Amino acid sequence: MTEHGHIPVLLNEVLETLAPQPGDVVVDCTLGRGGHSMALGKAIGPQGQLLGLDRDGENLAYARDRLQAADIPAITIHDSFARITEHVQALGRPANVVLADLAVSSNQLDDARRGFGFHDQSPLDMRLDQAEQVDLTKLIAEIEESELARLIRTYGEDPFANAIARKVAQERQTRPITTTGQLLSLVKEAYGPRARSSRLHPATRTFMALRIALNDEIAALETLLDRIGRGCEAARTGGWLHPEARVGIISFHSLEDRPVKQAFAELDRRGLASRLTRRLVRPSDSEIQENPRSRSARFRAIRVSNPGNPSG
């Protein structure tokens, strides 16, 4: 683990593409441990304004302290980026740069208490926001078998979704499923001999699917993309996005990247934004070697079109 528990992915590419300038308003939709915001905050200087959002209260507090120690003034808010519009409007200044890194932080994966990783005796939690009442133990105890299979199939794209859901439904009839180790064993049983030949850990897709479902991550992303679209429309007459704002999103799997790609392409087609990344930006080999968890990162970015600027 690094000093701060997480390495920001594609940092150089983010800075080069989004080009934060002195005095800019920067919104980090997923503050995490503050890695991206440290660099963005230094770029905009004391005349700029940094706004950071995160659903994880512990990470938010850590990032706030880290930014303060570096003399980077920031407003940090414990909330989902689905409410980005309200928080930016409260600043009284439109955003020049918006970044959302959709990954789970490394410190969240490595913390056995959180239940995101493959720790045998970890509690089945997986809440991004610890203030939420429903954790994964409660979801698995109450969800219908058919709905569980649908979630694993839709969000995990796992061909053994039905078999996994059946194993879970059978197991919970005899005892509660409360640890990651229990869920890992059930997934392996559902895979059978194919678990040994699977390129990924057999539980990877199931764990991802359940985390996405529990935290309603796809719905939050869809809301963010809708608000970006509305912001692009309103930027011409005044809104939460500056008429030349740069917006970037880092995703980690096709369920996230596909709607980002489609939304950005549609804004480009309508003349409301231009794509800053015509091709998908991926980590370099050297970055992957330094930080293997960056391997699946995908970065796309747009610039809001300004009708008064022929180059916009």
Residue 250 burial (CB count, 10 A): 26
Q: Which residues of the chain have pLDDT under 50?
A: 1, 308-312
pLDDT at 306: 60
Give me the torsion for CA of 63, 67, 69, 73, rounded to 10°: -140
Predicted structure pTM score: 0.92
Q: Which residue has the tokens 């208490």?
A: 113
The DSSP secondary-structure symbol of 311 reads: T
Between CA 206 and CA 196 the distance in angstroms is 16
Per-residue b/e over 92-109, b at no fewer than 16 CB within 10 Å? eebbbbbbbbbbbbbbbb
Looking at residue 167, its pLDDT comes to 97
> Per the structure block, which two tokens stand in for 34?
């503050």
The whole-number pLDDT of residue 199 equals 74
CB count, 10 Å around CB of 86?
12
What pLDDT sits at residue 229?
A: 97
